[in-house]
Amino acid sequence: MSSVAQSSSWTSFLKSIASFNGDLSSLTAPPFILSPTSLSEYSQYWGEHPNLLIEPNFLAQSEKATRDETDAMALKRIIAVTKWFISTLRSQYCSRNESMGSEKKPLNPFLGEVFLGKWEDPEGAEGKIGETILLSEQVSHHPPVTAYGIHNAKNGVTLQGYNGIRSSISTTSINVKQYGHAILEYKNLEESYLITLPPLHIEGLISASPFVELEGSSYIQASNGYFAVIEYSGRGWVTGKKNTFKARIFRDAMSSARKENAVITVSGQWSGKSYIGNGSSTPSSKDELFYDAQSSEPQHLVVKPIAEQHELESRKAWSKVAEAIKKADYDLISEEKSLIENKQRELRKTEAASGDKWQTRWFDLVDYSDSSVEPDAFLNLTNISNLSIRNAPSGSLKNSKYDEGEAKHWRINIEKWKAEKEIKI
């Protein structure tokens, strides 16, 4: 065991986890486990493979397609969406390990914090993909919720979503349920996809080298009917390898009740290689390669220099804390963090006194239990997949024990972004 793991700062941190109250962001962790990056930046992981995100737009059926051809193209597109989704996982769940040696505790975004930037037309795309932009905003602080929109104007592609978590503690790990979902829309195809977020747990705490493992399942429901179920496992069913998954694509959500009904099965590691085959049998390395995460490097977001950023922009707002973390200067970290936290407390006080609540910048909270809400992609896709519209753990089904309570979800308001005067990409 490393000396860090045996240090009193780590053991007392573990003790505070064991007795924590539910909000992980409130725990004071030793400097070596702190990340200089805010959680509001994590939205960028959805867009680090712009070519794969846009690919379905190039798989339209021809105008005089027969029914079979139409169906074949719809299947190709959900396979392409599944590939794009799998490609996001290495960035989402391994990138801190790869760049900093282990999972790290992100900075806890303040209300109204924003993070934005763009992905330029990928190398070799010759303008066919074009620019893709990211808008990310902290829409809630208690509990933390980040909303985001990713938009490619050239191809009419929009991904939007939001994330929150609820965690609990077991003997050796932190268990995390994700709340929220993503909606992917291809305007030219008039097609949309609903994506749910998998549960996960954090392991390696005892040895002070935490890492994320995905568990359970997540879903992709296409408006063309196709439905993908992705199952995750840490150690792998047969191979014993980490970060394994199996994705099965079904004709529709109904037929997913029986695994034998799978039209396509993909199997392998989302941080490595995966293979694809027809039908429900599990493909292996003898079959066609589906995706190789190691041979497809993420394309990084281009963000303005800090000097040109607005004070609500994440990297500018946290720059002094980030520097202190990089120096591992504990006193300076708490000093600089307190400055931000106290300013936030003051803001909330003045708002309470004046009665003007903080207004989110680019996102609106839509209440789907309100019958006057216009039918939209979310209502359509939850209907055909039988997924809950409530604020339940992501992927909960209608009429399950979680299908209760409010049905409020964050949506981008493009008009607000168009009217934005102060903050630029």
Q: Which residues bind ligand 0T9 (CB under 6 A)?
A: 24, 29, 33, 42, 45, 92-93, 103-106, 163, 165, 174, 176, 178, 202, 210, 212
- Is residue 283 exposed (0-12), middle (13-18) or buried (19+ Cβ within 10 Å)? buried
DSSP 99-115: HHSS--EEE-PPTT-EE
Radius of gyration over every alpha carbon of the chain, rounded to an integer in angstroms: 22
Cα atoms in the 13 Å half-sphere on the side-chain side of 25: 18
Smallest distance from the beta carbon of 96 to ligand 0T9, in angstroms? 8
Residues ≥6 apart with Cβ < 8 Å to 285: 273, 275
291, 273 in Cβ contact below 8 A? yes
301, 134 in Cβ contact below 8 A? yes
Q: Which helix (DSSP H) or strand (DSSP E) does residue 174 occupy? A: strand 174-186
Smallest distance from the beta carbon of 24 to ligand 0T9, in angstroms? 4
Taking residue 387's Cβ as centre, other Cβ atoms within 10 Å add up to 24
Q: Tell me: cis bond preceding 143? Omega within 30 of 0 counts.
A: yes
Smallest distance from the beta carbon of 61 to ligand 0T9, in angstroms? 32
Smallest distance from the beta carbon of 286 to ligand 0T9, in angstroms? 33
Please say which residue, 146 or 223, places its beta carbon nearer to ligand 0T9: 146
Please say which residue, 54 or 202, places its beta carbon nearer to ligand 0T9: 202
Please say which residue, 24 or 54, places its beta carbon nearer to ligand 0T9: 24
Please say which residue, 205 or 262, places its beta carbon nearer to ligand 0T9: 205
Taking residue 174's Cβ as centre, other Cβ atoms within 10 Å add up to 19
Please say which residue, 209 or 383, places its beta carbon nearer to ligand 0T9: 209
Smallest distance from the beta carbon of 199 to ligand 0T9, in angstroms? 10
Please say which residue, 59 or 195, places its beta carbon nearer to ligand 0T9: 195
179, 391 in Cβ contact below 8 A? yes
By DSSP bridging, strand 191-196 and strand 174-186 are: antiparallel
Smallest distance from the beta carbon of 93 to ligand 0T9, in angstroms? 6
Query: Which residue's C-beta sits nearest to ligand 0T9?
Result: 105
Beta strands in 190-239 (DSSP E): 191-196, 200-203, 211-214, 217-222, 227-233
Beta strands in 187-317 (DSSP E): 191-196, 200-203, 211-214, 217-222, 227-233, 244-250, 264-269, 273-278, 288-292
159, 46 in Cβ contact below 8 A? yes
Please say which residue, 77 or 151, places its beta carbon nearer to ligand 0T9: 151
Smallest distance from the beta carbon of 195 to ligand 0T9, in angstroms? 11
332 to 28, 82, 249: CA distances (angstroms): 14, 44, 51
Please say which residue, 165 or 228, places its beta carbon nearer to ligand 0T9: 165
Smallest distance from the beta carbon of 383 to ligand 0T9, in angstroms? 25
Please say which residue, 102 or 380, places its beta carbon nearer to ligand 0T9: 102
- How far is the C-alpha of 390 from the C-alpha of 399, rounded, in Å? 11
Question: What DSSP designation does 61 have?
Answer: P
Smallest distance from the beta carbon of 209 to ligand 0T9, in angstroms? 9
